[in-house]
Amino acid sequence: MTTETAFRIEKKNPTVQGICLVIVVCVTVGYLIDGDRKSFVASAQPVQLIKPKENADDAGQCSSSKRHPTYQCLPTSLLIGVQKGGTGELILWLGSHPKIHFDPREVRYFQTEQLERWGTYVRRPAFRLSPSEVRGGHITMEKSPGYARLHCRAAPRIQLKMPSAKLIIILRDPAKRAYSGFQHHCGRQRVMQKGDGTVYFKGPSTTLGAKRAPCTAKTFDRLIQKFKRYLIETNRSGTDLVSKWAESNTCFSPHDDYMEDPYHIFSTGFYPAVFSEYWRRFNHSQLLVIFSEEFTAAPKEVLYQIEEYLSLEHASYEAHKNQNGFWVLDGKTGRRSKGNRARYPPANAEAMRFLNEFYRPSVQALMKMLPEHKANFDKWLIEPH
Ligand SMILES: Nc1ncnc2c1ncn2[C@@H]1O[C@H](COP(=O)(O)OS(=O)(=O)O)[C@@H](OP(=O)(O)O)[C@H]1O
């Protein structure tokens, strides 16, 4: 109905005119009642409105001010990792859900060494929803795989600021994750090689004369050899490391900067550490564990699982299997998929066998924490690489 038609009806029909007057009065009264909150929402959903101030917020809450007709809605859910688990692809799929507004960037707010002001997080453009979106039950989300790796820092902060957050973690076979992590960093020119063949991560101690290492299975083997030497020198085994966490509940990798931790590609795969921190602090119903292997094989089923967890209706996802064997969304979103990238060479079987054994105690510890996922963990333990 155009404004002109509406105006004509109003002029001709006194009943319609009366109805319009009642609506105007109701809306105005509603606005005045809620005036002290500087906001008004005629919502079918129970939306909690808050003033953007320190410590008074929680996941999924929306705030607004008279100056802005939109709402700033804190994420209902956070995708906390793990790095190389398929988080990038997952946000493409979740972001294509009509009611999910995903921050396309890694926000990393809760993991940074110096917390930025809370207001800058609350006011992120990606967390902005229109009044009709708020009424329609739309939600915001963000992903930061560092929240898993830097769990000691991130978990308490998330608990403090957004205690009801729904946390999602996508896990991947830690041995495959480690090799994928190596390729990730190597492709970004962070793996260096000296003239004598020594391989290491570029960091504060990078020596002059070192050059970028080739991203091959052989370079990965060299890194594994170095890691093995480190484990022998420090008298550590996978079992020792797992029990160390269980006892002290400390961060294995407390550094903000990856490169200060030369073995971060291996330590990130110690999932029980991540879990103990989130498990201890959050209601277990707030943690959804999904698997990279399942997401790769049947993404729609994993998406339905997440939709149910977030109490959202199922969306339809149009996807096709690409030349790399990945399910990729059709259209514009799908073109951004990492699944379309050129594949890297496979790791050598011996390196993967070592990692498989190295992670065994950690996977077994995880199995005890999450027995309902035993079948997934069993595959990591027995699958030949
Ligand atoms: N459908 C689909 N399409 C593309 N990629 C898929 C998909 N499902 C899972 N994966 C796996 O995602 C791995 C990349 O993980 P992340 O996106 O978490 O990496 S990152 O941490 O954001 O850098 C990437 O790992 P690598 O292939 O080893 O690089 C993929 O195996």
Is 276 known to sit in a ligand binding site? no
Ligand 1 centre to CA of 308 (Å) is 23
Give the DSSP H or E segment for 225.
helix 217-233
Q: ipTM, 2 decimals?
A: 0.96
Q: Which of 130-139, 220-229, 267-276, 347-356 has the lowest mean pLDDT?
A: 267-276
Give the pLDDT score at 383. 61
* pLDDT of the residue at 190: 87
Res 292: pLDDT: 98
**How remote is the CA of residue 260 from the centroid of ligand 1, in Å?**
24
Average per-residue pLDDT for the chain? 81
**pLDDT (0 to 100) of residue 270:** 86
379 to 81, 356, 358, 376, 382: CA distances (angstroms): 20, 11, 15, 5, 5
Query: Is 172 annotated among the ligand-binding residues?
Result: yes
Q: Which atom of ligand 1 is nearest to the CA of 328?
A: 1
Q: What atom in ligand 1 is closest to the CA of residue 170?
A: 18
CB-based burial label for 43 (10 Å; 0-12, 13-18, 19+): middle
Segment 148-155 shows an average pLDDT of 88
Higher pLDDT among residues 255 and 177, named by residue: 177
Percent of the chain with pLDDT over 70: 75
Instruction: Indicate if the pLDDT at residue 40 is higher than 50.
Output: no
Q: In whole angstroms, what is the distance from residue 186 CA to residue 278 CA?
A: 30
Report residue 28's pLDDT band, with 50, 70 and 90 as the boundaries.
very low
pLDDT of residue 257: 52
Q: Give the Å distance between the CA of 279 and the centre of ligand 1.
A: 25
User: What domains are there in the chain, each with its CATH number?
Assistant: 3-33 (no CATH), 62-170+286-340 (3.40.50.300), 174-274+348-382 (no CATH)
| Mean of pLDDT values over 56-68 | 83
Centre of ligand 1 from the C-alpha of residue 292, in Å? 8
| Ligand 1 atom 29, closest CA | 180
Task: Compute the distance from residue 65 Cα to the ligand 1 centre, in Å.
Answer: 39
Tell me what the mean pLDDT of segment 9-16 comes to: 42
Q: What is the largest CA-CA distance in the chain?
A: 92
- How far is Cα 25 from Cα 36, in angstroms, rounded to an integer? 18
If residue 222 lies in a helix (H) or strand (E), which one and from where to where? helix 217-233
Ligand 1 atom closest to the Cα of residue 88 is 17
- Stronger pLDDT, 284 or 37, i.e. the higher one: 284
Q: Convert the pLDDT of each residue in 173-188 to its tens digit.
A: 999 999 999 999 999 9
Q: What is the mean pLDDT of residues 60-70?
A: 85
Best residue for ligand 1 mutational test, from 80, 84, 215, 268 (most atoms within 8 Å of Cβ): 84
Pocket of ligand 1 (CB under 6 A): 83-89, 145, 180, 184, 292, 295-296, 299, 326-327, 337-339
Whether residue 178 contacts residue 266, with contact meaning beta carbons closer than 8 Å, is answered with: yes
What is the per-residue pLDDT across 214-245, written as a single tens digit (0 to 9) for each? 999 999 999 999 888 877 877 766 666 666 65
Q: Tell me: the pLDDT tens digits for 318-356?
A: 999 999 999 999 988 888 888 888 899 999 999 999 999
Sheet with 100-106, strands from edge to edge, namely: 100-106, 139-143, 77-81, 166-171, 287-291
Instruction: Give the active site residues.
Output: 84
Q: Which atom of ligand 1 is nearest to the CA of 176?
A: 28
Spell out the residues 6+ positions from residue 103 whose beta carbon is closer than 8 angstroms to its own.
Answer: 75, 124, 126, 127, 140, 141, 142, 143
Closest CA to 37 of 54, 26, 46, 50: 50
Q: Which atom of ligand 1 is nearest to the CA of 296?
A: 8
Output the residue whose Cα is nearest ligand 1's atom 7.
296
Q: Is 327 annotated as a binding residue?
A: yes
Q: Do the Cβ atoms of 95 and 87 come closer than 8 Å? A: no
Highest mean pLDDT: which of 27-41, 88-102, 266-280? 88-102
DSSP type of residue 114: S
Pocket test for ligand 1, best of 290, 338, 355 (most atoms within 8 A of CB): 338
Which of 10-19, 158-167, 207-216, 315-324 is predicted least confidently?
10-19
Whether 272 shows a pLDDT value over 60: the answer reads yes
Which residue's CA is the closest to the ligand 1 atom numbered 17? Answer: 88
Q: Is the pLDDT of residue 46 over 90?
A: no
The Cα–Cα gap between 161 and 53 comes to: 11
pLDDT of residue 306: 98
Does the pLDDT value for residue 285 go beyond 60?
Answer: yes
| Centroid of ligand 1 to alpha carbon of 171 (angstroms) | 11
Report the sign of the C-alpha dihedral through residues 96, 376, 167, 135, in that order: positive
Q: Which residue is listed with tokens 């398929």?
A: 86
